[in-house]
Homo-oligomer: A and B are copies of this chain.
Amino acid sequence: MNLSSRILSMQSSPIRRLVPYAQKAKKNGKKVYHLNIGQPDIKTPKSFLQSIRDFDQEVLEYSTSQGSEELRNAMINYYKNYNIDFELDDIFVTNGGSEALLFALIAVCDPGEEVLIPEPFYTNYSGFSDAINVTVKPITTSGDNGFRLPSKEDIEKTISTKTKAILISNPGNPTGAVYTKDEVMMLASLAKEYNLFIIADEVYREFVYDGLEYISFGNIKEIEDRVIIVDSVSKRYSACGARIGSIASKNKDLMRNILKLCQGRLCVPTLEQIGATKLYETDKSYFEEVNLEYKNRRDTLYSKLIKIEGVSCQKPTGAFYIIAKLPVDDAEVFVKWMLEEFDLDGETVMMAPAEGFYKTKGLGRDEARLAYILNEKDLIRSVEILEAGLKAYNNR
């Protein structure tokens, strides 16, 4: 009565497996600043809850497998702001971006086939891939140059006859990198030349700073039948608990087939779709406000971080993460130590060790991901604690 090899091969989430240490620290009376997860403190627009409160049908019925037309139309309007032109049958609502990702991988890859993913990457990319026997081939990038993509020639070396797709998050989690037009077009031309899909995880689309130009893979007409857009309300509207995502593509054959997966799980929650429809109708000014808040947080965290002796990182331009190199051998050991052994006046900090974001063994061992999802006062205090912790750790 053995479990499957595929589930045994899955890694525990490197972010979530340290949670018990944080829980123990809190039980012992420590305050823990959580920079380890992407749970923003920004208020969810009130329209979400309000519209759900107004629901008064006596039977909570199934929605359609594709997702409600109201929500899909609201998404279509949202995409129009980015010059992405979807029709109703091009978009299905999913259980978070996670399900969209899973459906895309199932639809594109058979067991043993490969997806290229720039590393470091969102760890669940490899988790889902393992679960359904898809092989991840990393495209290695480095914090030293702000996680820029390697040259086309270097990426070509990782492509084999089994390669079916490039999976990329833009802006990047955990890197905070925003890919340039040249980088995006280079991947597009690779997709065309090698007959690949592009699975574009663009859930951080609004989180781009410094007036940078943002190019969505949905903007490239020449490869529109190759592009699968994964999206979510979680970060966009600070509604992580809603679990509303979407999968969208102009490839009709692909979407007809993905519909079978949607039908298999019947539908996405009815109420959450009502709320999410209102979220997508939120005025654009909301994003400006939120964007400014995150930009300020990034500036604060970055400027404080680089002043710590031995810490190095580049200033990220998107999402809400910084990957920092720390003056330690093993960031996971250090993060545990911070939770178990250290406090500054009863307070400590939790980060996400970055090794789990890399597929290539040995990379990222001295790196951690910090999410700037706390207010500036808390961020400043967190860096103070981190600095004191590093000093104490290296003077043990």
Seen from chain A, the residues whose Cβ lies within 8 Å of a Cβ on chain B are: 1, 3-8, 10-13, 16, 37, 39-44, 48-49, 52-53, 55-56, 58-63, 65, 95-96, 98-99, 102, 106-111, 113, 124, 127-128, 131-133, 164, 195-197, 225-226, 238-243, 253-254, 257-261, 263-272
Q: What's the minimum C-beta distance from A60 to chain B, rounded to whole angstroms?
A: 4
Residue of B nearest to A244 (CB): B269
Contact between B110 and A5, CB atoms less than 8 A apart: yes
Contact between A260 and B7, CB atoms less than 8 A apart: yes
Contact between A260 and B13, CB atoms less than 8 A apart: yes
Contact between B44 and A263, CB atoms less than 8 A apart: no
A52: chain B residues at CB < 8 Å are 52-53, 271
A132: chain B residues at CB < 8 Å are 106, 132
Q: What's the minimum C-beta distance from A379 to chain B, rounded to whole angstroms?
A: 17
Contact between A257 and B8, CB atoms less than 8 A apart: yes
- CA A264 – CA B1 in complex, angstroms? 24
Contact between B12 and A260, CB atoms less than 8 A apart: yes
Q: What's the minimum C-beta distance from A150 to chain B, rounded to whole angstroms?
A: 23
Q: What's the minimum C-beta distance from A192 to chain B, rounded to whole angstroms?
A: 10
A56: chain B residues at CB < 8 Å are 49
A5: chain B residues at CB < 8 Å are 110
Q: A12-B263, A44-B58 are in contact. List 7 more A-B contacts (CB 8 A).
A: A4-B109, A48-B60, A49-B55, A127-B263, A243-B268, A243-B269, A271-B271
Contact between A10 and B257, CB atoms less than 8 A apart: yes
A241: chain B residues at CB < 8 Å are 60-63, 267, 269-271
- CA A4 – CA B109 in complex, angstroms? 5
